[in-house]
Amino acid sequence: MKVSIILAAGEGTRMKSKIPKVLHKVCGKPILEYVIDASIGAQVQKNVVIVGHGGDEVRDYFKGKGLIFENQPIGQGAPYGTGFAVMQGLKHVDDESTVVILCGDTPLIRKETINRLFAYHNEGNYSCTVLTAILDDPTGYGRIIRDEVGNISKIVEDKDATEEERQVREINAGIYCFTGKMLKQGLSKIDDDNAQGEFYLTDAVEILKNEGYNVGAYVIEDPVETHGINNRVQLAFSEKVMRQRINEFHMLNGVTIINPETTYIEDGVIIGRDTIIYPNTYLEGATTIGEDCEIRSNTRIVDSRIGDGVCIESSLIEESSVGDGTKIGPNAHLRPKSNLGKNIKIGNFVEVKNSTLGDNAKAGHLAYIGDAFIGKNTNIGCGVIFANYNGKDKQITKVGDHVFIGSNSNLVAPVNIHDWAYIAAGSTITKDVEEASLSIARAEQVNKLNWVDKKGLR
């Protein structure tokens, strides 16, 4: 069985945050979630997450994901170090298990790399395999020291390294593969006799090597995957890399992104072929966009489903559904639970909330549509307000098919406007309007001749 032990107990003091480090987000997902997804993607059957600082928050976030959590004791007198952290997960490891040790703060690691590490480990029949990387500047990382024939001799931490050892550019990426039996054996013999006073997992590697066991070192193809996050600068670097990966994925699958550097697409967003994404666009959460769409600049779409052939310009769409061929914007706002049918027009400065609009409906400009059901082929004029709130409760307005609502009208809920009804401009509607009727609800116009002169106003 494949088992992962994911180390996520670090305090993350350099983040200077109330949020546990591994819950800080990269492209909309917590750092830790990327590591977990990579492990699951590599067909690891049992995933053990070691938590410490902020452990309850981490558990709550990933509740129901099928993970195993173990606490690492923290506080005064508690042992520290990667070796001690891994020990907390050993109860879930059998002697025959193949165990991968992962860092919870390295979101750029890929499932393909974990699979290649497994393959290298198994093909070489190693007791332990260390994932390594070649860096131009290895400062701060543990160095891989090899013997005269190129086999791994030991791993020395940066603070414990000699000046000569610090010149080595091959570093320990902090990711390992062990057979279960050898992991237990190595950890049983480590101590905290080092500069940091910690139990190093690297000492277990050296112990196995010195006892004559086969220890391998797999050099990763792309060192950026080993990038860990300890502060906001490193968080921003990972965000940039992940954003580039996501955008390239969509472009290679037939999506045009005019300027990838100014386009923000979160992991998990789905976009159909021949859709064009313009600069300064934000696609977030569980958003799905169909084929042949145009998502123009300064648009933000969150947790929404967009059909095929939709054009959206400079608008905000939240938790809503938009049918095929619909045009939205500029400067429109679909608030949560807005459901638009096909070939609808929502124009500039139109706000829709918790409402359903039938096919071919139109609201061209300057309207508020809240808590409403609107039928097919209905026209909502300029300045129309659905008055849905009485100060205590929200009320529903129902509008039928082929209805015409004149400009600057108010529909005071609850009210029903039946099919083919017409509402005269400037009306305030408080009663139901029958089918095919014209409703006029405004004061009669009175023109007082010469009123200005009588008042002496000119």
Task: List the catalytic residues.
Answer: 365
HEC readout, the chain: CEEEEEEECCCCHHHCCCCCHHHCEECCEEHHHHHHHHHHHCCCCEEEEEEECEHHHHHHHCCCCCCEEEECCCCCCCCCCHHHHHHCCHHHCCCCCEEEEEECCCCCCCHHHHHHHHHHHHHCCCCEEEEEEECCCCCCCCEEEECCCCCEEEEECHHHCCCCHHHCCEEEEEEEEEEHHHHHHHHCCCCCCCCCCCCCHHHHHHHHHHCCCCEEEEECCCHHHHCCCCCHHHHHHHHHHHHHHHHHHHHHCCCEECCHHHEEECCCCEECCCCEECCCEEEECCCEECCCCEECCCCEEECCEECCCCEECCCEEECCEECCCCEECCCCEECCCCEECCCCEEEECCEEECCEECCCCEEEECCEEECEEECCCCEECCCCEEECECCCCECCEEECCCCEECCCCEEECCEEECCCCEECCCCEECCCECCCCEECCCCCCCCCCCHHHHCCCC
